[in-house]
Chains A and B, each alone.
Chain A
Amino acid sequence: MPVQCSNCVQRRAVLKRPKTGHSLCKDCFFWAFEEEIHQTIVSAGLFNRGETVAIGASGGKDSTVLAHVMKVLNERYDYDLNLLLLSVDEGITGYRDDSLETVKRNQQQYELPLKIVSYEELYGWTMDAIVKKVGLKNNCTFCGVFRRQALDRGAMMLKVDKICTGHNADDVAETVLMNVLRGDIARLRRCTSISTASDGEGAIPRCKPLKYAYEKEIVLYAYFKKLDYFSTECIYSPNAYRGHARAFLKDLESIRPSSIIDVIHSGETLSIKEGVKMPVQGTCSRCGYISSQALCKSCVLLEGLNRGLPKLGIGKHHRLHGKILAQEPLTEQEEKKLKAVDF
């Protein structure tokens, strides 16, 4: 006996929602998915009328769906936003160059202006070159730090008011778990906020409209809407620590589908003791971007790469930052600790 859609009861159900387990027909699912994102945007007050918003587009499913839904909601509910696509080229052959083609196609399909910034032009290093120096274990740190700055710089070049990224519920839940496993209290407190703080010059707020959307539902939406996206994993990601958190989360989801939202709920409701040392936001003395140390992380990482000491930014070597700022030469022992391991 065919199952009827639990919302309209008229049409046949074509899918089972991973989030709630209800059976829905295609149109009701589209409507529910888009409506939820609309509710998220409205209840969190993410955007104001007349703002220019850059959508971080990588060509993958999350950013494609985000671009599509933002366009749809912008028209349907008259947000009066000026949307554009911002893409970052990390220089990973076989992965990023293919996904950039997808973004260029998206630009035509959604009729949104596109800007691409690349690591090569901003920092002088591509990810391929970085991995050759650093190895396969800590490269995600470089990529992530550089990408955030690249997004910021691209946004400043375009003079936008806000950036929105395609982080979904699974991403946020993984981040909560990862921060607990790593003991990163400062990030644990901030990672569940839907948008970054907007005070401080040079800091354009970033928000996550897809925060409560399950990854599975995003895939279903993209599939049923026949959206054009690029679906391969980054070739350097298998060794990342986040992989453990992700495997755990996927297993949790198979036991209890609401676990993803439960983890986010835990992350939102937990509270940190007063008196726990928290980093204070300041500015980097070299490039002027926001930083909690004297030198921002990307300056430290770049310094390490340029000097042939790729482990400079990995691990805790805060005492050496002062030395680097003062341009003093490092001792033999310190140099040895910071050099890459031979393969």
Chain B
Amino acid sequence: MCQVEEDYNGLESELNNLCCMKCKEGTAVLIIRVNDAFCRSCFKEYFIHKFRAMLGKNRVIFPQEKVLLAVSGGTASCSMLSQVQEGLSREAPKKLRFVPGIIYIDDGGACGRSAEERQRSNALLKSIFTETGFTYFIVSLEQVFSLPTSVLVPGTSDPDPSNPSYKQAVDQYIKEKQTLTEENVASAVAQLNIEDSAYSPEHKLALERLFSSMKTLTAKEDMLQTLRQHLILHIARENGYSKVMMGDSCSRLAVKLLSNIALGRGAALASDTGFSDPRYGDVVIVRPMRDYSSKEIAFYSRMFNVPSVFISGLDTKTHDKASIQRLTESFVTNLQFDFPSTVSTIYRTSEKLHTVMPPQSQTAEPASKCLLCLCTLDTKVDKASAFHATLVSEQLSQIKLQDPSLDAPAQSAEQCCTEGQGCGPGGCCSSNRLPSHQDLKTLLCYSCRLTIKDMVATNTLPPYIITEAEKRQKRWEILLHNLNISFIKKKKCCHLLTLSKPE
């Protein structure tokens, strides 16, 4: 990559005379990667083939499965949408075999767009979605304030032994195909469009308060991402979708990988940037566009008129150093210019990573997952680790008086539990309704802690997060209390045993 002899110049002048490298007949109309020239039809074939190959190679989408397509309006997700359309319209047996739905999250409330702008973009997208004929959901981010706490609990994926393997499922489907006609499916599906873009003013205000209590753009973007994921997850669960397809391209994922490393999410890198993300249990996130560079997607949507809508986000038109994500994006883009293999190298690195899953056991507590991002907690304080060093630094830079006050809330909570009083809705424990920074921190992974650290007031978080946090905190305290009791009992038993004569 950094060799002296690599020569990337001198190709532009030859474009006029280049032949397509695939069919060797047609004149090349574009060059992707460094010097791969394609003619129009070969490029279309190449593009479509990549999508099918990605789905086919990974074999996670079973026939007749309901798959939700997360569309943001940008070129990548709209290209994905057009690929799915294309795939479903082909003749058997090469047809794609799942039932798609579309979801669009309107996050204008967090990004500061006006109501007219939001309505306009919603209308444009609605027209695109109705063209496709699939079920669609247009949901505004404000709905996040009416989510249930079950969103934060990973569902169990069904390890049903009767579940057939991929090949068996496909064979079974082909046999049964005669009984299922096209029209039935289409008509049943077309009636379910949901446009839930209405939102109440209180929710709008709450959302604005939440985002204004985050001090840095980095934390805002992180929180927006988390909330969006939760909302998509909820809609998918409610409507029986077991897979969600995201339109992240290779370039986007390379930027995401680097910025996640900078944010401290090393443990979850594989889930965040890999093909499938199983952390939610019953709903699996897949990324079929991860093999496409932004250049390929841009060319495709331009040449074949893929309809898309540009919607400005949190970091549109901000300067390079506004947030970590924005900085990484400009860094990778600039580096790519000098070293064209940067993005594909990062992509290959991400393929070699995997997320350490704890062994599947029945007794695995939900509390061992991060409250916000639902990946396994990586804050076990290893003796010689960066995390340990951070804690040591914190301790050494501050006066020791801080420590007793930190223990106080936990102690008082334990006190009232030992009294045997019921900690019901009117009881003592519910009086500390607002979780302090310290309480929340113990339930979060390393990088979510950093995000919360940037928040001024944690009570602006949506109610489902606060309630779940309290629940877990209480459960942990009760567990601790029980452990103490059983330890004391054990000591007593041992004491009695030693008193009696050994057999």
Asked whether any CB of chain B lies closer than 8 Å to the CB of A273, the reply is yes
Asked whether any CB of chain A lies closer than 8 Å to the CB of B3, the reply is yes
Asked whether any CB of chain A lies closer than 8 Å to the CB of B447, the reply is yes
Instruction: For the complex, give the distance between the alpha carbons of A182 and B342 in Å.
Output: 7
With a 10 A CB-CB cut-off, give which of A17, A20, A24 has the most chain B CB atoms: A20
Contact of A6 with B399 in the complex, beta carbons under 8 Å: yes
Q: How far is the CB of A242 from chain B (nearest CB, A)?
A: 10
Q: Which residues of B contact A9 (CB under 8 A)?
A: 399
Q: How large is the interface on B (under 10, 10 to 19, 20 to 34, 35 or more residues)?
A: 35 or more
Asked whether any CB of chain B lies closer than 8 Å to the CB of A306, the reply is no
Contact flags B258-269 to A (C-beta < 8 A → 1, else 0): 101111111101
A32 touching B397 in the complex, CB below 8 Å, given contacts A261-B390, A270-B266: yes
Q: How far is the CB of A14 from chain B (nearest CB, A)?
A: 14
Contact of A256 with B216 in the complex, beta carbons under 8 Å: yes
Instruction: For the complex, give the distance between the alpha carbons of A7 and B262 in Å.
Output: 29
Instruction: For the complex, give the distance between the alpha carbons of A43 and B1 in Å.
Output: 39
Q: Is the interface of A mostly helix, strand, loop or mixed?
A: helix
Contact of A188 with B399 in the complex, beta carbons under 8 Å: no
Instruction: For the complex, give the distance between the alpha carbons of A261 and B356 in Å.
Output: 21
Q: Which residues of B contact A265 (CB under 8 A)?
A: 264, 266, 378, 385-387, 446
Instruction: For the complex, give the distance between the alpha carbons of A86 and B11 in Å.
Output: 51
Contact of A341 with B4 in the complex, beta carbons under 8 Å: yes
Q: How far is the CB of B391 from chain A (nearest CB, A)?
A: 10
Q: Is the interface of B mostly helix, strand, loop or mixed?
A: helix
Among B269, B342, B386, point to the contact of A181 (Cβ < 8 A): B342
Q: How far is the CB of B154 from chain A (nearest CB, A)?
A: 20
Asked whether any CB of chain A lies closer than 8 Å to the CB of B384, the reply is yes
Contact of A177 with B392 in the complex, beta carbons under 8 Å: no
Contact flags B392-403 to A (C-beta < 8 A → 1, else 0): 111011110000
Contact of B354 with A272 in the complex, beta carbons under 8 Å: yes
A268 touching B327 in the complex, CB below 8 Å, given contacts A251-B321, A262-B450: no
Instruction: For the complex, give the distance between the alpha carbons of A254 and B346 in Å.
Output: 24
Asked whether any CB of chain B lies closer than 8 Å to the CB of A59, the reply is no
Instruction: For the complex, give the distance between the alpha carbons of A42 and B6 in Å.
Output: 47
B window 205-223: CB within 8 A of A: 216, 218
Asked whether any CB of chain B lies closer than 8 Å to the CB of A183, the reply is yes
Contact of B386 with A273 in the complex, beta carbons under 8 Å: no
B window 333-387: CB within 8 A of A: 335, 342, 345-346, 348-349, 352-356, 378, 383-387
Instruction: For the complex, give the distance between the alpha carbons of A212 and B261 in Å.
Output: 17
Contact flags B237-274 to A (C-beta < 8 A → 1, else 0): 00000000000000000000110111111110100000
A43 touching B327 in the complex, CB below 8 Å, given contacts A258-B390, A262-B263, A273-B354: no
A sample of 17 more A-B contacts (CB under 8 A), given A32-B396, A265-B387, is A20-B397, A177-B261, A180-B258, A181-B258, A183-B345, A194-B384, A252-B262, A255-B321, A259-B324, A261-B390, A266-B265, A266-B269, A270-B353, A271-B353, A272-B354, A337-B5, A340-B4
Which positions in A face B, CB cutoff 8 Å? 6-9, 17, 19-20, 22, 24, 31-32, 35-36, 39-40, 43-45, 135, 137-138, 176-177, 180-183, 185, 188, 194, 212, 241, 244, 248, 251-252, 254-256, 258-259, 261-273, 276, 311, 314-315, 337, 340-341
